[in-house]
Amino acid sequence: MDSVVLAARSLVADTLAFHLFFVLFGVGLPVMIAGLEGWGVFKKSSRARKIACSWSRALVVLFIAGAISGTIVSLQFSLIWPNFTSFAGKVVGVSFALEGFAFLVEVLFLTIYMLSWDKFKPLWHWLIGCLVALSALTSAFFITTVNAWMNTPRGFKLNAQGQPIDINTRQAVFSPAARTEITHSILAYLFTVVLCLLAVYAWMLWRRRLSASAKAVAKRLMLALAVVALILGLAVVLAGDQSGKFDAKYEPYKLATAEGLQDTTSGAPLLVGGIVQGSQVKDAIRLPKLLSFLATGHFNGTVQGIKATPANQRPPVIVHYFFDAMVAIGMITVAVPLAYLLARWRGWAWSHSRWLLGGLVACAVLGILGCEFGWMLTEFGRQPFAIRGVMKVSDAATRSRGAIALAEFFPFIYLILFALTIIGLKRGTKLQEALE
């Protein structure tokens, strides 16, 4: 692979990995803030509104880096991937444009929301918060339709020059992968944000620096957040199951590669763990017939193997690690809040022990990693194509050597920006004061 394409790939990988961290908060946090503020408005609880206000301050800090990385993503796609953006623009450009509209409304009203905490009546302020949340969800919806189309491109034919003709925008935007991909990703963002909020209060209790009244509020809040986390976690698991079944039908090469399944098999086993060697997964734990069941709903169902896909169109088997990591994280992050809820319900003494609180804090980090692994599975699972079956990554990239310099330079600034965001969150949000 030539150095420009490699640079373009590493640049977009760095940017998207960095941006995703902020995207999930940009989508999930407004929903949670609107939920809590709504509770405060209808139950006339000033404390709930105060806590929602502290969360919104965190949203602004995260928004700074998120808006910048989002701006850079949109510019990079045009500058570094001009062939891809030109092709995709003709077919699903409407999704990019509508995402832009939604993003504009989101940030415009987020700004108004932040400036008007003490200026509007609570109901009006909450309605503005709802608009921010709705715009965030709409923005995520439309941009995910583009990725879904890249995985299962529909709604056009190719002419002799390889350009799209007979374009059907509706078919392209609502491609087969759209439903499962949108549901799975947005639910995962919401789940991760709830885990992060839970972790913040678990961390405060872990440090043991709260007053008695603040501790009581934190515990009540954690109980509510754990219930929401459990509901969302189970929804993510169900959406993941649907994604697996979808992959078996529409993207079988991805599922086969993720499981290292060589030949088309009935009653295929699920491989857990193991080491990737060449195109195979060695030393994995084999759970008989489970892959068939997960993929088809039948223990003896047939699952297509890697060999059914031409050798030059197969994704790298490294996606097995991403798949396993995502699933394992999903299980752990559902189990820990469940354990916390059980302990609270049964009144067990260890419900606020340091190890369980530490486990809840770890779940936040794991949740973020789970989202990253999920997207890595999606992106690596489409290789070597940028648009599956239509345009290879090597054909999509720029020929400008400027991309190399950017690829070497950008990761360092991302690291600095990330560190400053974390420090800014710690100093600028005053989450603890809101509990007092």
Partner 1 sequence: MTIVDFSVVLIGALFGVYAICASIECGIVLKMLTRGPANRRLFSPLWEITNVFLVFGFTALAMLFNGALNDISRALTATLAVALVSLLVRACVVLAIFYIRGDEELPLWLVGLLALTTFLVPLSFASAGIYLLTGHLFWASWIGAVAGLAALSGLAGTGLLFVNRRSGSKSLALGEALAALWLLALGCALPLVSLHTANRLSHDSLLVLVVLAGLVLTAFLGKYVGLLRVTLWLPAAAVSLLAPVILGWANRPYLISGQLSLSSAYGAQTYGRAIIIALAVMLPLILLGGWLFWRLFNSQDATKT
Using CB under 8 A as the criterion, which residues of the chain lie in contact with partner 1 when the complex forms? 60-61, 63-65, 67-68, 70-72, 74-80, 82-83, 85-87, 89-90, 93-94, 96-98, 100-101, 103-105, 107-109, 111-112, 114-116, 119, 167, 169, 398-400, 402-403, 405-406, 409-410, 413-414, 416-417, 420-421, 423-425, 427-428
Please report how close the Cβ of residue 154 comes to partner 1 at its closest, in angstroms. Answer: 14
Compare residues 45 and 400 and give the one whose CB is closer to partner 1: 400
Nearest-Å Rg of the Cα atoms of the chain is: 23
Q: Which helix (H) or strand (E) holds 330?
A: helix 319-346
Compare residues 360 and 406 and give the one whose CB is closer to partner 1: 406
Please report how close the Cβ of residue 428 comes to partner 1 at its closest, in angstroms. Answer: 4
Q: Please provide residue 166's backbone torsions phi and psi, each rounded to the nearest 5 degrees.
A: 50, 50
Is the Cβ–Cβ distance between 157 and 164 less than 8 Å? yes
Please report how close the Cβ of residue 221 comes to partner 1 at its closest, in angstroms. Answer: 23
Compare residues 317 and 403 and give the one whose CB is closer to partner 1: 403
Is the Cβ–Cβ distance between 369 and 325 less than 8 Å? yes
The C-alpha atoms of residue 339 and residue 191 are separated, in whole angstroms, by: 16
Structure tokens at 182: 């949108």
Compare residues 292 and 421 and give the one whose CB is closer to partner 1: 421
Backbone torsion region of residue 221, taken as left when φ is above 0, otherwise alpha when ψ lies between -120 and 50, otherwise beta: alpha
Q: Please provide residue 339's backbone torsions phi and psi, each rounded to the nearest 5 degrees.
A: -60, -40
Is the Cβ–Cβ distance between 276 and 318 less than 8 Å? yes
Compare residues 75 and 216 and give the one whose CB is closer to partner 1: 75
Please report how close the Cβ of residue 325 comes to partner 1 at its closest, in angstroms. Answer: 29
Please report how close the Cβ of residue 420 comes to partner 1 at its closest, in angstroms. Answer: 4
Please report how close the Cβ of residue 113 comes to partner 1 at its closest, in angstroms. Answer: 10
Compare residues 350 and 409 and give the one whose CB is closer to partner 1: 409
Judged by DSSP in three states, 158 sits in strand
Compare residues 112 and 343 and give the one whose CB is closer to partner 1: 112
Beta partners for 287?
Answer: 270
Please report how close the Cβ of residue 413 comes to partner 1 at its closest, in angstroms. Answer: 4
Is the Cβ–Cβ distance between 261 and 291 less than 8 Å? yes
Count CB atoms within 10 A of the CB of residue 276: 16
Backbone torsion region of residue 244, taken as left when φ is above 0, otherwise alpha when ψ lies between -120 and 50, otherwise beta: alpha
Amino acid at residue number 194: V
Compare residues 2 and 263 and give the one whose CB is closer to partner 1: 2
Please report how close the Cβ of residue 24 comes to partner 1 at its closest, in angstroms. Answer: 18
Backbone torsion region of residue 293, taken as left when φ is above 0, otherwise alpha when ψ lies between -120 and 50, otherwise beta: alpha
Q: Please provide residue 347's backbone torsions phi and psi, each rounded to the nearest 5 degrees.
A: 70, 25
Please report how close the Cβ of residue 389 comes to partner 1 at its closest, in angstroms. Answer: 21
Is the Cβ–Cβ distance between 418 and 427 less than 8 Å? no
> What does the DSSP 8-state code read for residue 202?
H
Compare residues 64 and 272 and give the one whose CB is closer to partner 1: 64
Compare residues 72 and 205 and give the one whose CB is closer to partner 1: 72
Q: Where are the alpha helices (DSSP H) in 43-121?
A: 46-80, 82-115
Please report how close the Cβ of residue 5 comes to partner 1 at its closest, in angstroms. Answer: 14
